[in-house]
Structure 1
Amino acid sequence: MTTPCSTGRISLVGIGPGSLDHMTPAARLAIVEADTVIGYATYIKLIEPLLDGKAVIRKAMTEEIERALEALDQARQGRRVALVCSGDAGVYGMAGPTYEVLFEAGWTPSSNIEVEVIPGASALNSCAARVGAPLTHDFCAISLSDLLTPWPVIARRLHAAAVADFVVALYNPKSGRRGEQIVHAQAIFLAHRDPQTPVAIVKSAYRAKQRVELAALADLAECEIGMSSTVLIGNSHTFVRDGLMVTPRGYADKYDVTSGEPREGERRGRSLSTGLVGWRAALREDTATPEVLAARFGLPEAYLRYVLSEPTTV
Structure 2
Amino acid sequence: MKITVAGLGPGNHEYVLPIVQRALAEAEVIIGYDYYFQFAEKWIDPSAELISMPLGDEEKRAYRAIEEALKDKRVLVIGSGDASVYSMAAIVYEMTAKRDHDEIDLETLPGVSAFLAAGSLLGAPLGHDFCCISLSDLMTPWGTIEKRIRGAAMGDFVTSLYNPRSKKRYWQLERLRKIYLEERSADTPVTIVRQATRPEQDIKITTLGELDVNDVDMFCLVMIGNSQTFRHKNHLITPRGYLNRKPKTGGEIQQESFRIVSEHVSQLPFSTSDKWAVTRLVHTTGVMDDHQYYKASLQAIDVISDHLKKGGEIVTDVTMVASGITRAFVGKYGNAVHCLLNEKEAYEIAESEGITRTQAGMQLAMKKFPNALYVVGNAPTALFEITDKLREDDSFCPAGVVGVPVGFVNVIESKEQLSQVQNVPWVIVEGNRGGSNIAAALVNAAFTLEQAENYY
TM-score, length-normalised on structure 1? 0.79
2:192 matched residue in structure 1: 201
Per-residue displacement from partner, 1:166-206 (whole Å, max 9, x unpaired)? 11011110112111010101011011111111011111111
The reply to whether residue 114 of structure 1 matches residue 108 of structure 2 is no
Are the counterparts in 1 of residues 93 and 106 from structure 2 also a CA contact under 8 Å?
no
Counterparts in 2 of 1:185-200, with a 5 A limit?
185-200=176-191
State whether structure 2 residue 39 is matched by structure 1 residue 41.
no
Is 1:138 matched up with 2:129? yes
Change beyond 3 A, Cα 1:283–1:183:
farther
Task: Give the secondary structure class of the aligned counterpart of 2:166.
Answer: coil
Take 1:291 and 1:159, find their aligned partners in 2: how far apart are those partners? 25
**Cα separation, partners in 2 of 1:179 and 1:206, compared to 1, 3 Å:** same
In the TM superposition, 1:48-127 aligns within 5 A as 48-51=41-44, 52-108=46-102, 111=103, 113-127=104-118
Task: Indicate the SS of the match to 2:212.
Answer: helix
Counterpart in the other structure of 1:311: none
Paired residue secondary structure (1:240): strand
Q: Residue 158 of structure 1 aligns to which amino acid in structure 2?
A: I
Match of residue 286 from structure 1 = 284
1:254 aligns with 2:248: no
When residues 32 and 101 of structure 1 are mapped into structure 2, their CA distance, relative to the original with a 3 A threshold, is: same
How many residue pairs get aligned? The number is 267
Contact 1:186 1:221 in 2 (8 A): no
1:163 aligned partner, one-letter code: M
The alpha-carbon deviation at position 285 of structure 1 amounts to 5.2
Query: Which deviations, in whole Å up to 9, do the C-alpha atoms of 1:281-312 show, x marking residues without a partner?
Result: x999532548879xxxxxxxxxxxxxxxxxxx
Percent identity at matched positions?
36
Larger mean CA deviation between 99-108 and 140-149 belongs to: 99-108
- Give the distance between the partners of 1:65 and 1:156, measured in 2 at CA: 27
Residue number among 165, 173, 176 corresponding to 2:164 in the alignment: 173
C-alpha deviations, 1:190-246, integer Å up to 9, x for none?
111111110111111111221111011112234511112111100011011111111
For 1:129 and 1:99, how far apart are their aligned partners in 2?
30
Tell me, in whole angstroms, the C-alpha distance in 2 between the residues paired with 1:214 and 1:20: 26
SS at match of 1:81: strand
Equivalent position of 2:219 in the other structure: 228
Give the CA RMSD over aligned residues.
2.5
Distance 1:147 1:153 in 2: 12
Comparing 246-255 with 225-234, which one deviates more in the overlay?
246-255
Which one is further off, 214-223 or 141-150? 214-223
CA distance in 2, matches of 1:134, 1:214: 12
The amino acid that maps onto 1:22 is: Y
* Preserved contact between residue 122 and residue 235 of structure 2 (Cα < 8 Å): yes
Matched, 1:19 2:12: yes
* Structure 2 unaligned residues grouped into runs of 5+: 261-279, 292-456
Q: Distance in 2 between matches of 1:224 and 1:171?
A: 15
Distance change (3 Å), C-alpha of 1:284 and 1:171: same
Determine which structure has the larger helix proportion and give its number: 2
Higher radius of gyration, 1 or 2: 2
In 2: Cα distance, 1:226 partner to 1:145 partner: 12
Alpha-carbon displacement from aligned partner over 1:73-122 (angstroms, at most 9, x marks no partner): 111111111100011111111111111111122112xx1x2210111111
- CA displacement 1:30-59 (0-9 Å, x = unmatched): 111101111011111211122222111111
Question: What residue in structure 1 maps to residue 24 of structure 2?
Answer: 31
Q: Is the 8 A contact 2:195 2:202 kept in 1?
A: yes
